[in-house]
């Protein structure tokens, strides 16, 4: 049976906004197939720009919006992307969410979040239940749950699309975004050594996070460029929290040969170092230089403003979303544009003579 020929009154109803446009209307008016309209809606990169622009103009003219329920039924899954995280830093999670939303804008996908505990004995079945309950199109995994091979194996088993954000390559390029934490640590070490610091301290994140090891390794590389060595007794383990930075700094600053500079593995801990220095009667940066990692809002709001390593977390979230829904091929920038970068502020200076 051939499709019903639209009556003039149908188009008048569309023009007057008295009837909602359907995908068949958009295809007919644009002079393309329904499948081609679907490709535009789903942001498929395999279309000529002029075809995409013509269809998008018709969609905009008639205010067409696909029905998410109908789309979900057609594909037997929802148009939902899940963010699965176990990061103790709330600002990291917020920035990652903002980046994912940037990458999903206009795609018809929505975001749902699922906090978890990587140390839980039910981690894998809990995540599987979340995916199946929501009928997720795909998920983005952030450190350290992204480093869990059991979770990745489960995702492959159930056929769920995924992208793993990690400090090193943990999967094929199509399934991973590398955050280059080691390079960021190198910038911190290089900065302190170039200022003339020779007795330096380091407060790491949790040792279960690969980023903690990568940032330390890079830090030692940066120091070594200038003949400086990180002494094991000047290292404290933190938890990427303000309180752990305060505690670790108190330990390091109580030493007879206390460091003249401390690199904290993130800005939250670096803020704790500033607090510990003040409690110890030390001035920053006159008596102690402090540098963090992330360049989250707290870095520019504490006093003195923190020197830090800027990690492009929001940008990484955008790339993860675009990679997940097949749009990463449109990004032509050099990957080096997304490397961590040094932000020198008022919390670092040359040590006292």
What stretches in the chain show pLDDT beneath 70? 1-18, 42-46, 66-77, 327-337
Instruction: Give the pLDDT confidence score for residue 346 in this predicted structure.
Output: 97
Domain co-membership, 307 together with 192: yes
Please give the tally of structural domains in the chain: 3
CATH code for the domain in which residue 35 is found: 1.10.260.40
Domain co-membership, 86 together with 170: yes
The residue from 27, 44, 66 where one domain ends is 66
> Is residue 172 included in any domain, yes or no?
yes
Domain co-membership, 142 together with 52: no
> Is residue 346 included in any domain, yes or no?
no
Residue 20 structural domain = 8-66
Domain co-membership, 318 together with 174: yes
Domain co-membership, 139 together with 241: no
Domain co-membership, 233 together with 287: yes
> Is residue 343 included in any domain, yes or no?
no
* Tens-digit pLDDT profile for residues 138-188: 999 998 899 999 999 999 988 889 999 998 888 888 898 999 999 999 999
119 close to 151: Cβ distance less than 8 angstroms: no
Instruction: Give the pLDDT confidence score for residue 1 in this predicted structure.
Output: 41
pTM summary value: 0.75
Domain co-membership, 211 together with 284: yes
> Is residue 149 included in any domain, yes or no?
yes
Domain co-membership, 307 together with 318: no
The residue from 29, 47, 66 where one domain ends is 66
Domain co-membership, 131 together with 208: no
Domain co-membership, 88 together with 42: no
> Is residue 212 included in any domain, yes or no?
yes
> Is residue 348 included in any domain, yes or no?
no
CATH code for the domain in which residue 242 is found: 3.40.50.2300
Contacts of 30 (CB under 8 A, 6+ apart): 36, 37, 54, 55, 58
Domain co-membership, 169 together with 223: no
> Is residue 349 included in any domain, yes or no?
no
* Tens-digit pLDDT profile for residues 191-211: 999 999 999 999 999 998 899
Domain co-membership, 159 together with 140: yes
Tokens 């505990």 — which residue? 117
C-alpha to C-alpha distance for 262 and 246, rounded to whole angstroms: 12
């Amino acid at each position: 049976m051939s499709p019903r020929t639209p009556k003039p009154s149908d188009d008048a109803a569309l023009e007057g906004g008295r009837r909602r446009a359907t995908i068949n209307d958009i295809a007919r008016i644009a002079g393309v197939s329904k499948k081609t309209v679907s490709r535009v809606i789903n942001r498929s990169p395999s279309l000529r720009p002029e075809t995409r622009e013509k269809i998008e103009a018709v969609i905009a003219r008639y205010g067409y919006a696909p029905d998410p329920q109908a789309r979900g039924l057609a594909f037997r899954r929802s148009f939902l992307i899940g963010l699965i995280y176990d990061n103790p830093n709330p600002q990291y999670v917020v920035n990652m969410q903002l980046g994912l939303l940037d990458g999903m804008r206009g795609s018809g996908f929505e975001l749902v979040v699922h906090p978890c505990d990587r140390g839980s004995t039910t981690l894998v079945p809990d995540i599987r239940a979340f995916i199946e309950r929501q009928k997720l199109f795909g998920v983005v995994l952030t450190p350290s749950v992204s480093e869990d091979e059991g979770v990745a194996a489960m995702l492959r088993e159930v056929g769920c699309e995924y992208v793993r954000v990690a400090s090193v390559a943990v999967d094929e390029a199509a399934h991973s975004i590398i955050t280059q934490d080691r390079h960021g640590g190198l910038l911190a070490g290089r900065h302190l050594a170039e200022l003339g610091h020779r007795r330096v301290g380091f407060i790491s994140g949790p040792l279960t996070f690969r980023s903690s090891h990568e940032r330390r390794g890079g830090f030692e590389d940066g120091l070594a460029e200038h003949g400086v060595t990180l002494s094991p007794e000047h290292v404290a383990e933190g938890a990427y929290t303000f309180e752990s930075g305060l505690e670790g700094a108190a330990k390091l600053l109580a030493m007879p040969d206390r460091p003249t500079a401390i690199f904290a593995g993130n800005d939250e801990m670096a803020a704790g170092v500033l607090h510990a220095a003040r409690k110890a009667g030390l001035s920053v940066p006159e008596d102690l230089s402090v540098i963090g990692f992330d360049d989250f809002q707290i870095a520019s709001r504490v006093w003195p403003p923190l020197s830090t390593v800027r990690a492009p977390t929001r940008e990484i979230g955008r790339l993860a979303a675009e990679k997940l829904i097949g749009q990463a091929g449109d990004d032509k920038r050099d990957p080096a544009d997304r490397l961590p970068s040094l932000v020198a502020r008022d919390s670092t200076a040359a040590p006292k003579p």
